[in-house]
Structure 1
């Protein structure tokens, strides 16, 4: 039996929009490309996550890895993040995100059309304060990505790492990462870790 690798709430509507829910660009609606398996983090989940991050976003250097629509990184920029790196291996998603950033006149963002593994293997220009990880489900991405974040020096000493994953998954996170918050919504579990 073939496993379902699609995420819940995948975008199937050509006229779908991403709504930014807080900050400078609050209520702005941006087009989303019709890409199989692509879906923005739901509004309710984003609202919870950014409540968790409320006191950490301003001035933070962020990365939105497997960014897709860029929902998490755009929300961070809207709420005062100093910068955000967006990484996605889907050309249509990366191109639409570049267009959306131009629409918003965002000059503190970079979009990289490449594999997350390839990009993270290069190492950073500067360590990151917040990393958003929202990989495709049931593909084993987190097991490959988490060691690279540490080995290549991507994380600032007190960095926060937000992770979305399938609820049934289980694996070992680095021992010096403290789980700060965690919730589940259906087949999605979302967690915030702090590097200590």
Structure 2
């Protein structure tokens, strides 16, 4: 098991464990620093979703910067065990861990929204992190379900194997590249 550090907020410099899972690519430090410079260092009151959590570092970074609620969704058993271990070590009550595949989670959340069980701002997200496995078409499958679970003015962070100028109604407002990773901040007009 390897370790990576949280780059800012109340847990700055804390190390979190990363499970040895094939294909797991924790977002590099410099990309996270750039992302949170784009977003702002204070996420107080925001609700965040780390949909393909993996190491969970994006969700932990958001919680470290004051997000009111952070939901981390991960399917892999080993990665999920590491998420649980890290959440317990950090002792945060704003973290919600869900073991599920991303599509099932999104479909369930969309059904709740359609049935009006997700009240405005209750159970919806202000910021969504999407760093899915590459070359599997996840972004196209997830995008249609986003509108049902986000608040007005929500932002979307995407890591992908290629540049993403838009994703449905979402348009890239900031973008960068680090090696083979393209990263983007998207908003809806």
Other-structure match for 1:159: 154
Higher helix content, 1 or 2? 2
SS at match of 1:49: helix
Q: 2: CA distance between counterparts of 1:18 and 1:106?
A: 18
Q: 2: CA distance between counterparts of 1:146 and 1:171?
A: 14
Deviation at 1:122, TM superposition (A): 1.0
Name the stretch that deviates more: 130-139 or 115-124. Answer: 115-124
Other-structure match for 2:186: 193
Question: What CA RMSD, in Å, does the superposition of the two structures yield over aligned residues?
Answer: 1.6
Deviation at 1:195, TM superposition (A): 2.3
Deviation at 1:184, TM superposition (A): 1.3
Deviation at 1:127, TM superposition (A): 1.5
TM-score, normalised on structure 2?
A: 0.89
Give the alignment partner of residue 40 of structure 2, picking from 22, 32, 54. Answer: 54
Unaligned runs of 5+ in 1: 1-13
Q: 2: CA distance between counterparts of 1:57 and 1:180?
A: 19
SS at match of 1:122: helix
TM-score, normalised on structure 1?
A: 0.86
Deviation at 1:178, TM superposition (A): 3.2
Change (3 A) 1:160 1:30: same
Taking the TM superposition and a 5 Å limit, the aligned residue runs for 1:124-135 are 125=118, 126-135=123-132
Other-structure match for 2:135: 138
Other-structure match for 2:168: 174
Change (3 A) 1:148 1:28: same
Q: 1: CA distance between counterparts of 2:150 and 2:60?
A: 20
Give the alignment partner of residue 107 of structure 1, picking from 62, 72, 93. Answer: 93
SS at match of 1:68: coil
Other-structure match for 2:176: 183
Tell me if the contact between 2:41 and 2:65 (Cα under 8 Å) persists in the aligned partners: no
Q: 1: CA distance between counterparts of 2:131 and 2:39?
A: 16
Unaligned runs of 5+ in 2: none
**Deviations, residues 101-159 of structure 1 (Å, cap 9, x unaligned):** 11111111111111100001011642100000000011110010011112xx1111100
Change (3 A) 1:30 1:172: closer
